[in-house]
Amino acid sequence: MSHAIGPDDIEAQARARLPEPVWSWLSGGAADEFSLRGNRSAWEALALWPSVLRPLRGAHTRSMLLGRELATPLLLAPAAYQRLLHPLGEAGSALAAATQGAGVVLSGMTSVALEEVARHVRDEPGRGPLWFQLYLSGDRGFDRALVDRARAAGFEAIVLTVDAPVQGPRERERRAGFRIPAGIAAVHYDDRPAPAVSPGALCGGLVEHAPTWDDVAWLRDAAGLPLLLKGVLRADDARRARALGVAGLIVSNHGGRTLDTVTPTAVALPRIADALGGTLPLLVDGGIRRGTDVLKALALGASAVLVGRSALFAYAAGGPQALAQALRRLRDELEIALALCGCARLEEVSRTLLDASQ
């Protein structure tokens, strides 16, 4: 990435390198994109309130999540069809993350087989967590087989996306005429027959197969791995998930790509954290692109963050090396922010670092 210093530079380079339809798919959101912009503006609206002259000897960013140590509280968010961005697809982005100690949440809609992605990273020293995300298909035999493959390949947790039973109205990509090109596919799903459409039924009948809490309970037992739910925004849903015995929650609104005008994740996160009182690990995504955003998320109750678009922009701009550089920059920014706020360790981060007068 020549002359790419910050995220705006990286985004500009990604846009210059991608065909307009692919750029619209990658960067766009649902409908009028209020939620897309709202995620970003909510982090920006939070002001840090640093403490000075604090002892910083021995400072680090290590933490524990689901029983394993993280070098840094960063994971790549699940994102489909990454061969649209680079020929190595998800294998290249996962390896870039592993070199920086960041975790990976591999999309079930990966364009590279999950076994191939795992082969690239599972033995990498110092890598972060390796998790597999999926959408329930309505066919429990298929879903169980896919989870079994993930477990056998070395994935350490299952992430169920619960906020997208149907796709949002993505007008920007429709205007650009985006289509998945020949030769690129969601390799685990695209050979399955399309669900039957029922004219006159809600969303063409697609919601007939929408997952429910009963499906969460089934998957919890079937997975053989810790189960996290991605897409929770309400405290009552968070409490119900806890009662079902899930291992953690990812506070997410799908990056503003499904339901427009939905609550920003920076607003939902502290409400859920208060409701659960530290009884479940919380992660968050949506609009994270600076180390100060990561620090604010930790202050609001997150154990770690998922990085989506800003990481994908880097991957599109310059491949695995550029993505590794972007993750290193994000980690460096977090370390700088920690030091400047007077925190030697992540467990010292709390809401006292945020200006409550706002």
Residues classed as catalytic: 254
- Token pair recorded at residue 321: 């090396």
Q: How far apart are CA 313 and CA 288, in angstroms?
A: 13
Going by C-alpha positions, the residue among 309, 241, 281, 320 that lies closest to residue 39 is 309
- Token pair recorded at residue 326: 């972007």
User: 110 near 186, Cβ under 8 Å?
Assistant: yes
Is 273 strand, coil or helix? helix
Q: How far apart are CA 230 and CA 58, in angstroms?
A: 34
- Token pair recorded at residue 268: 């939902």
Instruction: Give Cα 5 distance to the centre of its chain.
Output: 23
Quick count: other Cβ atoms within 10 Å of Cβ 126? 9
Longest dimension (CA), the chain: 66
The residues, any chain, with a CB within 8 Å of residue 309's CB and separated by 6 or more, are 26, 27, 255, 289
Is 46 strand, coil or helix? coil
User: 78 near 309, Cβ under 8 Å?
Assistant: no
Instruction: Give Cα 270 distance to the centre of its chain.
Output: 18
Sign of CA dihedral 255, 260, 266, 271: negative
Angle at the Cα of 226 from the Cα atoms of 221 and 77, rounded to 5 degrees: 125
Q: How far apart are CA 314 and CA 114, in angstroms?
A: 22
Residue 245 is classified by DSSP as T
User: 81 near 180, Cβ under 8 Å?
Assistant: yes
